[in-house]
Amino acid sequence: MAQETLFICQPYVVGKRGALRPQPSIAYKTESQALQRADRMMAGGSVAGVDVVRQTADSEMGDYDEPVFLQRLGNVPTVGN
For the entire predicted model, the pTM comes to 0.84
Q: What are phi and psi of 40, to 5 degrees?
A: -65, -40
The string of pLDDT tens digits covering residues 3-48 is 899 999 999 999 989 899 999 999 999 999 999 999 999 999 999 9
- Whether 1 shows a pLDDT value over 70: the answer reads no
Task: With beta carbons less than 8 A apart as the criterion, state whether 73 and 45 touch.
Answer: no
Tell me how far the alpha carbon of residue 34 is from its chain's centroid.
8
Closest CA to 25 of 14, 15, 12: 12
Amino acid at 35: L
Contact in structure between 35 and 70 (CB atoms under 8 Å): yes
Give residue limits of the domains in the chain.
4-74
What are the Cα distances from residue 60, in Å, to 27, 28, 74, 75? 17, 19, 34, 33
**Residue 15 identity:** G
